[in-house]
């Protein structure tokens, strides 16, 4: 596996594709798109701050474009800028997806030991965005990877039930869960 540069984060696009970007690259994309009315230097520093927050404080290696845009929008609003919120951005925040295969890959070799804490961390970070629905996809592949199975077995059935049950427990333990639906496929 190729190591990611220390000044980069992986940005997950709506298509599921992941792209490595630095803070500078993000600023260029924003300035070229929706950065009208914002001083380029302020935009650069705001994007760099949000980038630092995800990378250093939350210790995240992957961020969805929607997460980053929402955090940057919040920073710009706090700085006194009016940011137009389009219907598509609102729709993206209503349904947030996570890939269980990615979480399983990040805890590779440790089987389930690091998987469940990473899963809980992902669930909590997604709930901070106040979505209407959380979707965790890739369950079958994730289970086979964690079980070390090539074919589906009784162990896979049990592990699948454990993962879904764990997600339900974590969601019900959170005080904001009443506003959010959970889909696992």
Confidence of residue 151 (pLDDT cuts 50, 70, 90): very high
- 64 pLDDT exceeds 90? no
Q: How far apart are CA 162 and CA 100, in angstroms?
A: 13
Query: C-alpha angle with apex 24: 19 to 25, nearest 5 degrees?
Result: 35
- Of 1-10, 27-36, 81-90, 115-124, least confident by mean pLDDT is 27-36
- What is the per-residue pLDDT for 163? 94
Tell me the whole-structure pTM to 2 decimals: 0.52
- What is the per-residue pLDDT for 14? 67
- What is the per-residue pLDDT for 177? 59
- What is the per-residue pLDDT for 1? 45
Q: How is the chain split into domains, by residue range?
A: 8-85, 93-184
How distant is the alpha carbon of residue 91 from its chain centre?
Answer: 16
pLDDT digits (tens, 9 = 90+) for 90-138: 554 578 888 898 888 887 666 678 899 989 988 988 888 778 888 899 9
Phi first, then psi: give them for residue 98, nearest 5 degrees: -135, 150
Strands 8-12, 18-22: pairing kind: antiparallel
Check the CA dihedral 146-150-155-161 and report its sign.
positive
> From residue 181, how far is each of 27, 127, 129, 171, 185 by CA, in Å?
33, 11, 13, 9, 13
Average pLDDT on 8-27 reads 74
pLDDT top residue among 172 and 23: 172
Average pLDDT for the chain: 79
Query: What is the token pair recorded at 128?
Result: 């901070």
């Amino acid at each position: 596996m190729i190591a990611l540069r220390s000044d980069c984060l992986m940005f997950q696009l709506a298509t599921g594709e992941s792209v490595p970007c630095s803070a500078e690259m993000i600023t260029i994309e924003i300035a070229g798109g929706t950065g009208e009315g914002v001083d380029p230097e302020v935009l650069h520093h705001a994007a760099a701050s949000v980038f630092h927050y995800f990378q250093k404080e939350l210790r995240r290696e992957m961020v969805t474009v929607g997460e980053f845009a929402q955090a940057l929008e919040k920073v710009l609003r706090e700085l006194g800028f009016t940011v137009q919120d389009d219907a598509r951005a609102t729709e993206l925040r209503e349904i947030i997806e996570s890939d269980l295969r990615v979480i399983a890959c990040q805890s590779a070799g440790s089987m389930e030991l690091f998987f469940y804490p990473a899963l809980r961390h992902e669930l909590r970070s997604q709930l901070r965005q106040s979505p209407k629905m959380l979707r965790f996809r890739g369950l079958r592949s994730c289970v086979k990877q964690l079980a070390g199975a090539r074919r589906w077995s009784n162990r896979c059935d049990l592990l699948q039930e454990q993962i879904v049950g764990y997600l339900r427990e974590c969601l019900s333990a959170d005080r904001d869960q009443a506003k959010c639906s959970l889909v696992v496929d």
